[in-house]
Amino acid sequence: MDNVVEITALSKAYTQGHEQILVLEELDFYIAKGEFVAIVGPSGSGKSTFLNIVGLLDDVYSGEVRLFGRRVEDLTEREKAVLRLENIGFVFQFDSLLPEFTVQENIEMPARVLGREKGGKAPELLKRFGLEEIACKFPMEISGGEKQRAALLRALRNSPALLIADEPTGNLDRHNSAVVLDDLRRAAGLGTAVLMVTHNEDAARRADRALHMDGGKLTGGAG
Ligand SMILES: Nc1ncnc2c1ncn2[C@@H]1O[C@H](COP(=O)(O)OP(=O)(O)OP(=O)(O)O)[C@@H](O)[C@H]1O
Ligand SMILES: [Mg+2]
């Protein structure tokens, strides 16, 4: 199977004083190419902790994490950084567009970081997602929903194999949430594996599979 992420027996604990607090407990997980998976769970259940590990932002855990067929524990810091830049896109609840750049320039930013400014992928993405009208606007000139959509296109700029979205609709009204969920589905249709955390059961239903995080355990999820 064409799995982008494969995780076996993942556990993570935080130390508080003399106590070890187990946040993730023996999780198994996978996501395939082009699949849209949602994780739902109460606040504090470990969702962001999990995403940070999958996104190579945290390497303190036990268990095995495989990304794009490679065992993450065997990689150097540099290899992980490259893997992250080239293959993983991130979207968060609050937008993080750079205010002094236009939408199009913001979307090109991940390519600049990789020294790949040429290619003009932003116009194509804006067109594909129906956002051409805001290409030349600055973040302060567009709505919250549009900002979130622009941030999503920026995350997709380098055609990542994996998109990690932590509460991407958490700050949006119903209509804009639906639009962003459509965008995420479209991204999956283009071949990106989309891993989304949400508090919203309706949003989770839009995914191919919804998993539940509770007490550090991940359950459920028939397709
Ligand atoms: N750096 C840290 N040090 C100690 N404990 C932490 C740290 N980060 C998170 N935790 C604890 O780990 C648990 C899981 O946190 P996490 O942020 O993963 O939850 P979450 O499911 O994303 O919650 P939310 O829905 O509110 O975003 C919480 O109990 C939190 O207090
Ligand atoms: Mg969180």
- Give yes or no for residue 49 CB within 6 A of ligand 1: yes
Q: Which ligand is nearest to the CA of 50?
A: 1
CB atoms within 10 A of CB 2: 10
Of the chain, the percentage scoring pLDDT greater than 90 comes to: 80
Q: Is the pLDDT of residue 16 over 80?
A: yes
> 142 CA distance to ligand 2 centroid (A)?
26
AA letter at 153 = L
pLDDT of residue 119: 62
**pLDDT band of 116, cuts 50, 70, 90:** confident
The span from the CA of 176 to the CA of 142, in Å, is 13
pLDDT of residue 36: 98
Task: For ligand 1, pick from 20, 45, 169, 213 the residue to mutate: most ligand atoms within 8 Å of CB.
Answer: 45
In the chain, what are the domains?
3-95+145-150+161-219 (3.40.50.300)
| Cβ atoms of residues 42 and 214 within 8 Å | yes
**pLDDT band of 84, cuts 50, 70, 90:** very high
Mean pLDDT estimate for the chain? 92
At residue 181, φ and ψ (nearest 5 deg) are -65, -40
CB atoms within 10 A of CB 70: 13
pLDDT of residue 221: 65
Q: Whose CA is nearest to atom 30 of ligand 1?
A: 44
Interval 17-55: pLDDT, tens:
999 999 999 999 999 999 999 999 999 999 999 999 999
**pLDDT band of 223, cuts 50, 70, 90:** very low
pTM comes to 0.93
> 140 CA distance to ligand 2 centroid (A)?
26
Interval 139-198: pLDDT, tens:
999 999 999 999 999 999 989 999 999 999 998 899 999 999 999 999 999 999 999 999
pLDDT of residue 2: 85
CB atoms within 10 A of CB 221: 16
- Give yes or no for residue 15 CB within 6 A of ligand 1: no
